[in-house]
Structure 1
Amino acid sequence: MSSSELLTPFGAPMLKHFLFEPGWRNLNQGSFGTYPAPVRDALRKFQDANEARPDAFFRWELPKGLDVSRAAVAKLLHVPTEECVFVKNATTGVNTVLRNLLFKEGDVIVYFATVYGAIEKTIVSLSEMTPVRGLKVEYRYPISDDELVRRFEETVTKAKADGLNVRVAVFDTVVSNPGIRFPFEELVRVCKEQGVLSLIDGAHGIGQIPLDLGKLQPDFFTSNCHKWLFTPRGCAVLYVPLRNQHLIRTTLPTSWGFIPDPNSPATQPSVLPSGRNPKSAFELLFQFVATGDDTPYLCVPAALEFRQTVCGGEDRIYEYMENLAREAGDVVSLALGTEVLQEPGLKPGEVSRQRQCAMATVRLPLAVSDHDSTTRTAYPVLKTTDALAAIDWMQAVMANKYKTLAPIFLHGGWLWVRLSAQIYLEKSDFEWLGGVLKVLCEKVGNREMDEESRGDV
């Protein structure tokens, strides 16, 4: 059988490979991801091997399997294997980097207003426990990439003029909310010019957009494999180039691979292999991080094999998802009489760079303000507390009554919905969603939210 004969058409035919409950439309790949049956089978195989011989598995089989998976993910990112390790999720990856850096008085971490909430909380936590403080680049969408980069440069320049040391900048590949592609390539360039460490939170990166870290050369990068690459949860890659590996001396939690300072007191000998082991201290650091289920890490080769043999390869997947996300945004915005979020001032026929990903963000016809507002909308303007209640109600009704969910959130004085394209979805799924959202918006706008229709989710 030729490789082309193994391919499954994208859209509804692809559903046969996935594990969804009958009738469930999975329109939110971006939050938690999912994986096909062949990857589930690989996961069960590794878990069974773990239970069959726990000691042998943890001591010898797991490290070998990790090396195979690290090589596979490194090839996809176009970097050496020794620069890639696994952590549980991108939040852990960002925390691992930031909590390894030694901060001094006057150090700052620059981040952006649309940063993932857990990462902002991480920066605040660090400011409570170390001399570092966070410096936020303020803005709201719609905004152009050029303006984002300009504001970043301006923030760094001003901080330096104020006598501060911009130690590291944290930014996304694709923002979580709104779901929009970020100018991470240009920001890495600016960081290099400014002498600032670049830390890319690529939670929505690997498996959704092409990535060439060998060419880009950020200082640190982390990305969830379980969101878009079809591995089980939790599985994320952490990339640290050789030039920066000396900065990373502990995992979270600190475990047997800890690399102590030469002046630190002696501790118990490590349980990790020693002597003739060819791996670096950085690689061994992440080989065994406390006892847990690391079998999702071992499933990267199975996920990549599915993407190649059943889907036709990475480029084919990226193209389908980007085109579907564009269609999805257009049909939902048409149903609601609103617009898709993108950079302002695009000329007719000009392609939106911010929409070159597998997510689209559409404005709902529901404005939000706690003050007197002149915003023109078909419905009364919501107070923030009412808007938050409406978000909870709409998402619960979607899940309970309609067997789907698309995240709704507040940004820039409006409610928005984030759409995730995926290979098992097609345009008709989003045409259907547009009708559902229109009904829900009408009920919210007319103050007809019904607890009974919310149900018990």
Structure 2
Amino acid sequence: DAIASPTGLEVPFASVCKLVRKRLPNAAIVVDGAHVPGQLSVNLDELDADYFTGNVHKWLFAPRGCAILYVRKHKQEACRSPIVSNMDEGTFADRFNVQATRDETAFGSAAMAVEVFEKFGGMQGVTKYNTKLVRYGVEKLRNEWGTELLYEPTTFMFAIACPIAEGKIKADELMRLLLLYFRIQIAAFSLQDKLWIRVSCQVYNTEDDIDCLASAVLQLKSMLG
């Protein structure tokens, strides 16, 4: 994992890859970078991994079902698509590009998604905005809820303890009620007998969204008694 999905915690994956390569030279190293594109800058040529995957639909604005697969040159021949087509004996790219009647809408929109990302300032501009919003969110929720962070955030996500006791509500129900009553979508999970909320900050979010979340959770807490 490059970024742990439930918590938003960034893993030192580049260092881990180097360590594994040093100790186990023949190991096949796979990096799950689902949340990386649009969130972190990574030089795949310098990353000591054989395989890298990353979703384009999470932080890079493409529709769902769009991702990248990077495979080192010497590993490409053995890397086969799970769906066999008439291009199975073609190039590495052909084997994955041509897959019968698959809907390629998301794939075809990837270039436009990158253009939209660049209009928001590219990696530098998006990082500047989102980092500022994360800092605001951390301080706002910590002060309003009086709870702790799970870790100091280094990405566009952060996890903070929910002020509602775990015995009052489960994570799935918390997410459902916030969406049902307040039209707010967050990720929630249980860890060490506490409920935690993962907040994601993107360029279409504002400080008002953070304020609404702060208020909604406190209202929900009051509703639950």
TM-score w.r.t. length of structure 1: 0.46
Cα gap change, 1:367/1:400 in structure 2, threshold over 3 Å: closer, same or farther? closer
Q: Distance in 2 between matches of 1:443 and 1:400?
A: 14
SS of 1:419 mapped into structure 2:
strand
SS of 2:29 mapped into structure 1:
strand
Question: Within 5 A, what are the aligned runs for 1:242-261?
Answer: 242-248=73-79, 250-259=80-89
Question: Within 5 A, what are the aligned runs for 1:193-342?
Answer: 193-195=22-24, 196-248=27-79, 250-259=80-89, 281-308=91-118, 310-342=119-151
Larger relative helix fraction: 1
Q: Distance in 2 between matches of 1:426 and 1:321?
A: 9
- Alignment gaps of 5+ in structure 1: 1-171, 260-279, 343-351, 369-381, 447-457
Question: Within 5 A, what are the aligned runs for 1:11-410?
Answer: 172-195=1-24, 196-248=27-79, 250-259=80-89, 281-308=91-118, 310-342=119-151, 352=152, 355-368=153-166, 382=167, 387-388=169-170, 391-410=171-190
Q: Which amino acid aligns with 1:253?
A: I
SS of 1:210 mapped into structure 2:
coil
SS of 1:404 mapped into structure 2:
coil
Deviations 1:59-105 (A, max 9, x none): xxxxxxxxxxxxxxxxxxxxxxxxxxxxxxxxxxxxxxxxxxxxxxx
Any conservation in 2 of the 1:191–1:197 contact (CA below 8 Å)?
no
Q: Distance in 2 between matches of 1:246 and 1:395?
A: 43
Q: Distance in 1 between matches of 2:132 and 2:84?
A: 43
- Cα deviation for residue 295 of structure 1 reads 2.3
Deviations 1:151-183 (A, max 9, x none): xxxxxxxxxxxxxxxxxxxxx111111121111
Deviations 1:350-402 (A, max 9, x none): xx4xx11111111113455xxxxxxxxxxxxx2xxx643xx333222222221
Deviations 1:230-262 (A, max 9, x none): 1112100000010211321x2122333335xxx
Q: Distance in 2 between matches of 1:402 and 1:190?
A: 46
Q: Which amino acid aligns with 1:304?
A: V
- Cα deviation for residue 285 of structure 1 reads 0.9
- Cα deviation for residue 225 of structure 1 reads 0.3
Q: Which amino acid aligns with 1:305?
A: E
- Cα deviation for residue 443 of structure 1 reads 3.6
Task: Figure out how many residues of one structure are paired with residues of the other and give that number.
Answer: 223
- Cα deviation for residue 325 of structure 1 reads 1.8
SS of 2:76 mapped into structure 1:
helix
Partner of residue 421, structure 1? 201
Point out the structure with max Rg over C-alpha: 1
Q: Which amino acid aligns with 1:255?
A: S
- Cα deviation for residue 184 of structure 1 reads 0.9
Cα gap change, 1:257/1:412 in structure 2, threshold over 3 Å: closer, same or farther? farther
Partner of residue 106, structure 1? none
Give the number of the structure with larger relative contact order, counting CA–CA contacts within 8 Å between residues 6 or more apart.
1
Q: Distance in 2 between matches of 1:404 and 1:328?
A: 15
SS of 1:320 mapped into structure 2:
helix
- Cα deviation for residue 301 of structure 1 reads 1.8
SS of 1:256 mapped into structure 2:
coil
Any conservation in 1 of the 2:18–2:48 contact (CA below 8 Å)?
no
Q: Which amino acid aligns with 1:179?
A: G
TM-score w.r.t. length of structure 2: 0.90
- Cα deviation for residue 418 of structure 1 reads 0.7
RMSD: 1.9
Runs of 4+ in 1 over 4 A off after TM superposition: none
Identity %: 28
Any conservation in 2 of the 1:367–1:414 contact (CA below 8 Å)?
yes
Q: Which amino acid aligns with 1:243?
A: H
Any conservation in 1 of the 2:87–2:94 contact (CA below 8 Å)?
yes
SS of 2:189 mapped into structure 1:
strand
Q: Distance in 1 between matches of 2:221 and 2:23?
A: 46
